Amino acid sequence: MDVGAYMLTIQQEHNISERTRFCTECGAEAGHHHPTRARGRRVPIALGLIAVVLLVVLGWTSQHRATNHIARLQATEATLREALKRQSEAATASTNGLSDRLGHVEAKLDAQPDPSAIAKAVGASVFTIDADMDLGSGFAISGDGSSTRLVTNYHVVEDTWKAGNKTVRIRRDDVTYDGTITDINPDVDLALITVPVALPTLKHAATPPQVGDPVLVVGSPMGLGGTVSSGIVSAMRTEHGHDYVQFSAPISPGNSGGPVVDRAGEVIGVSVAKMVGEGAEGLSFATPIANVCTSFSFC
């Protein structure tokens, strides 16, 4: 063998030996334990999986918390809505109740008498009776379109009647009419006067008044025509076989024969007398309108 070829062969073997002594992957000596490339890749993958799981868990936890928070907010909103609804219903009920009470109050106020309106309406039918030296009051109670009958007290026209004179004068404001005494009933102190003109008449109350009912008295106390006083029905009395309506409205000489009217302006009686004396106040009396109806048969 050629010496040069031999040495080349030895060198190649030597190089082969050198290559086998060290790992070409990591540089460690051949035969020593060292991590392989495959095992080195599994660690990052496991960490990645753990991170993903943690992210999923954290995400689920956050979502669960958010869902619970939203549910609590929705429950709170529902509670507030229900509370507002109850408050609104209570306010509506309160308003309705207030409206009902206000309606009742208005109805009661509407039912209350308006003295000025009643006095104005009644006053057009009330006149001063001038019977020579006697003065009294009277009111139109019925008519037929051409003549009108007025009621007054018999004691207002008594002197004229007994003198054989049946003519009296009736007046209101600046208007005066001649009237004729056409009927009398001394027992209940009533008389009828007829005038040949159509006058507005008053209605008579269909039922007796009740104690405590408000009343107005219209007449000519001391000749002062168109005077109005107010009071209440104080009592229903029977004295000496005669019925009377006792009332508290003050009357004076000249009121005799004038109407006592109720809250509707309907006649409940004819002013006839008052009690006088020391300490006597508001003790006035009227003949019930029922006596007028039975005396003259036209009610």
Contact 254, 239 (CB under 8 A): no
In a domain, 25, yes or no: no
> Per-residue pLDDT averaged across 190-212, rounded?
96
pLDDT one-digit tens code per residue, 64-85: 777 887 888 888 888 988 888 8
State the CATH number of the domain containing residue 221: 2.40.10.120
H-helix or E-strand containing 179?
strand 175-185
In a domain, 51, yes or no: no
Contact 9, 1 (CB under 8 A): no
In a domain, 177, yes or no: yes
Give how far Cα 247 sits from Cα of 44, 156, 258, Å.
116, 21, 14
> Per-residue pLDDT averaged across 209-233, rounded?
96
Please report the pLDDT score of residue 57 as a whole number: 66
CB 159: neighbour CB atoms within 10 A? 13
The structural domain count of the chain equals 1
In a domain, 108, yes or no: no
Residue 256 annotated in active site = yes
Model confidence band, residue 291 (pLDDT cutoffs 50, 70, 90): very high
Model confidence band, residue 6 (pLDDT cutoffs 50, 70, 90): very low
Catalytic residue (one of 147, 155, 213, 243) = 155
Residue 104 annotated in active site = no
In a domain, 219, yes or no: yes
In a domain, 201, yes or no: yes
Residue at 228: amino acid letter: V
Is 60 exceeded by the pLDDT of residue 232?
yes
H-helix or E-strand containing 19?
helix 3-21
Residue 155 annotated in active site = yes
Is 60 exceeded by the pLDDT of residue 25?
no
Buried b (16+ CB within 10 A) or exposed e, 168-203: bbbebeeeebebebeebbeebbbbbbbbeeebebbe
Q: Which residue has the higher pLDDT, 92 or 231?
A: 231
Residues spanned by the domain of 165: 117-296
Catalytic residue (one of 137, 234, 256, 295) = 256
In a domain, 52, yes or no: no
Q: What is the 3-state secondary structure (H, E, C) of 117-172?
A: HHHHHHHCCEEEEEECCEEEEEEEEEECCCCEEEEECHHHHHHHHHCCCCEEEEEE
In a domain, 100, yes or no: no
Is 80 exceeded by the pLDDT of residue 23?
no
Is 80 exceeded by the pLDDT of residue 27?
no
pLDDT one-digit tens code per residue, 116-153: 999 999 999 999 999 988 999 999 999 999 999 999 99
Model confidence band, residue 51 (pLDDT cutoffs 50, 70, 90): confident
